[in-house]
Structure 1
């Protein structure tokens, strides 16, 4: 073989090795810097272009959105209409998630049924939720999509959506599409239970109708569910700003929780030693109504409590039930779904507490308490009624803490036997599933509940006879007054053990007295540590100001002042809804 041929062979070999080395370098860079998500995004973009074959039809679907005021949707509907149905989203999960290979169950044993219920959702937003789900979910796992319209004002929406979805789904053949419309408003809770009843997949995903599913959302969740069939998992929710629709990164250092008023709150997640940021972690509750759970487990827990009405508290009730009855909740940071957290309710609530009947009797009712109960805000009334059902069902002896913070709930008649829903008996569920007492959840799952009031000596409403101490007005014209104790908005108070401050429950305002004044007057001030004028002493049922040694007094109806302390004076007897520390 000639030297020239040897040189040519060496050159060819060198060229091949150079190409291989460059390909290897590209792979290393892709893995090292998380660029694989970009490649996945481009692949998904091709899939999304297939969905765009019906773009003109989708545009026509969107343009039939009724012209409604902004308050109906609580987000920028015009901007939503002009955005692409499926847009490229930023990668918000930790880069380590992109390098992982997930151990997934066989698709034949992990079919996913997705339940989306909506009421008065903008067509473009609902469509974006559905199309991002279909385009970013592995086809072999997405078994069926169940869409339930809960009596929306846009009566033609669902039929039009079904027609377009069926046409777009002809070539794909999956997922199976199921559409239902409630002729009258039945609420999110009823509709989700109905969706679960219709489902046939191994797993249920409850998804809100104003979401955007991000790339690779399902695989991390399926891996966790395959390890523990009694687990319920939630993605990290990436917030979508309502006005700009900007997609932002959610915080994997937060977990879901709730307080004694049974309101949801985000709580700080404390990383254990050597715990990775992207590692799945336990959470007392979940938010946004987005959860994946095995269909068998959901039905074994008897689903969402059917006695809860419309919306409110159902996710907290299910979370408590999960933990107490053998299940667990995890948030999985490698899974991301965008969610619009609307600033207010975008729907009407029904009248509560027999309001319709009471309104007919208003002329005959002269008691102010009854009239105020009639006039309660319907959204708050519905949520309060639902919360009372949860407290009575699951909190055991700790329900007194709920009533201390929500005394108006005591007046709410439940009438559960008259509710036209399937039988749902928490006592029977507890016996059937051998559920733990609520104290177990406080000790092992949500110690924050036990610590919430550890530094308080008393809390709740502050009552004198039939009136309660209340902060009225709006800033900067706030004032102390005595008001009916039966209103939903009556001020809740905290009496702090160490400082002696008497503060509102948000610990923003404190009751103060200027001890140097010739005639000391009550006032409201921002709470400040070490402020002597804000210190109060508890003397039996009296509240004595530490600086002036005068007592809070109500000598005449609705009159609030300071006067010399008199033993056993009824006008100076102020009782908290809950006394934690023994009175002196």
Structure 2
């Protein structure tokens, strides 16, 4: 068995290796910031903490002196950079000396295909005393070869290299109808009865930090080679794995560190244009009728030529992939379809202020107050629906009520919250909850939960259809 491992700290390194080589190389870490500092720290393990701190401070001063070039000490001092080199569209790195020879030998012996950006050259490996992050991923792949297994991303502060994580936090990733990727957490009921060593079903993957059987990776079509530079590939691959008979899982015992960075890629056609192009390729193949919500969020998408999709559609047919309805029913039911089990949907227009209820781009499960805004006819932001079970739903949240010392407010909250209100749109235009509140607005467009008053103009709401 071979594996495709994609690992990220600040840049990317992708390798295809055999089991033996994985066990051989992964006691080493690829660190993407001030690795020379870490190497010196390892060498000085026998000295006092005070001496070590002094050494690290001096090395940080050296780093600052070189920051005006690329900010990357080893890159600025290391052989050659090629800004036009392919790969992740970072500045390509040419290895030097022994490492250049080792890279060629590894290619011959183990069929390693290494893509190195300027953020992770191979000379940045330092001994790592932490448990092997790959082992939990291999366990899941060994159980089921059609598994794409993800590590849990912890965070490393870019300047101090402080490694931090919350032991009780179990991240889960999601997306909305704008295809915005976000990090959330597993609910208690999803964790109930399961050991932390078990795998947990994922929705979408982070852009790297996963392992997969390389033969299976080829069988399901690798990455979409028609996509450009960056954006959307993590969504497309996640949908394809889940819909085409595989599984995407979180292996929570596998931890890797991530240093957040500014966008390093070059976008000759513009970043948003490139992302929308990639999104269109993904949604035209996989989303079926629900791509209209994405088109609604990105009107320019309708006029973009996304290239030839014939091979991706044939792949979908060959793999006998399930529909996006199946995906939403079984993998990501939190994402709401505004036409399934609803009594009415559209924008909620406040007739007094002529503004519309807006989810304020809020995608999380915890309660949050929200406001109305100028109407924009975008489902992902201002789409609301009265479901057949009486919930007032947005893309990822429901509308509830919450009272505080300074008054009662409408809130966006998890649709599975047991305290959730049920709503009725009355003939006079009021939206009334089963807790005897009516949806209201103040002069700052803050959404309130007020005592119902049929004579109060700010409590009158009209459902306006959004054209698709």
Question: For 1:439 and 1:502, how far apart are their aligned partners in 2?
Answer: 18
Question: For 2:438 and 2:140, how far apart are their aligned partners in 1?
Answer: 61
Bigger Rg over Cα: 1
CA-CA distance at 1:268 after TM superposition: 0.3
1:203-214 alignment runs, 5 A limit = 209=119
Question: For 1:209 and 1:435, how far apart are their aligned partners in 2?
Answer: 37
1:211-250 alignment runs, 5 A limit = 215-249=131-165
CA-CA distance at 1:565 after TM superposition: 11
Aligned: 1:409 with 2:298: yes
CA-CA distance at 1:302 after TM superposition: 2.1
Considering fraction of residues, name the structure with more helix: 1
Equivalence for 1:527:
411
Equivalence for 1:469:
356
1:442-457 alignment runs, 5 A limit = 442-449=328-335
CA-CA distance at 1:265 after TM superposition: 3.5
What is the TM-score when the length of structure 1 is the normalising length? 0.46
Give the structure, 1 or 2, with the largest relative contact order (CA under 8 Å, sep 6 or more). 2
Question: For 2:117 and 2:426, how far apart are their aligned partners in 1?
Answer: 53
Equivalence for 1:83:
37
Equivalence for 1:3:
none
Tell me, yes or no, if the aligned pair for 1:459 and 1:578 is still in contact at 8 Å: no
Show CA shifts across 1:122-142 (max 9, x none): 535989xxxxxxxxxxxxxxx
1:412-423 alignment runs, 5 A limit = 412-413=301-302, 415-416=304-305, 419=307
Question: For 1:82 and 1:468, how far apart are their aligned partners in 2?
Answer: 56
CA-CA distance at 1:322 after TM superposition: 0.6
1:11-160 alignment runs, 5 A limit = 80=34, 83-85=37-39, 123=72, 150-152=88-90, 158=92
Show CA shifts across 1:523-568 (max 9, x none): x966399xxxx9985357956689999999xxxxxxxxx99899xx
Considering fraction of residues, name the structure with more strand: 2
Show CA shifts across 1:497-519 (max 9, x none): 89987989777999xxxxxxxxx
CA-CA distance at 1:320 after TM superposition: 0.9
Change (3 A) 1:455 1:232: same
Give the secondary structure class of the aligned counterpart of 2:327. Answer: helix
Show CA shifts across 1:252-309 (max 9, x none): 7535342442334333063353x32123333232214222222222222222224444
1:169-568 alignment runs, 5 A limit = 170=101, 175-176=106-107, 200=111, 209=119, 215-249=131-165, 254-261=170-177, 262=179, 263-268=181-186, 270-273=190-193, 275-342=194-261, 345-347=263-265, 349=267, 351=269, 378-379=271-272, 382-399=274-291, 402-403=293-294, 407-413=296-302, 415-416=304-305, 419=307, 424-449=310-335, 461-462=347-348, 469=356, 482-485=374-377, 491=382, 527=411, 538=425
Q: Where does structure 1 lack aligned partners over 5 or more consecutive residues?
A: 1-42, 52-74, 89-119, 128-146, 178-198, 353-377, 511-523, 553-561, 580-584
Give the secondary structure class of the aligned counterpart of 2:234. Answer: helix
Equivalence for 1:65:
none
Q: Where does structure 2 lack aligned partners over 5 or more consecutive residues?
A: 1-23, 43-68, 77-84, 361-369, 402-407, 414-420, 442-452
Give the secondary structure class of the aligned counterpart of 1:245. Answer: coil
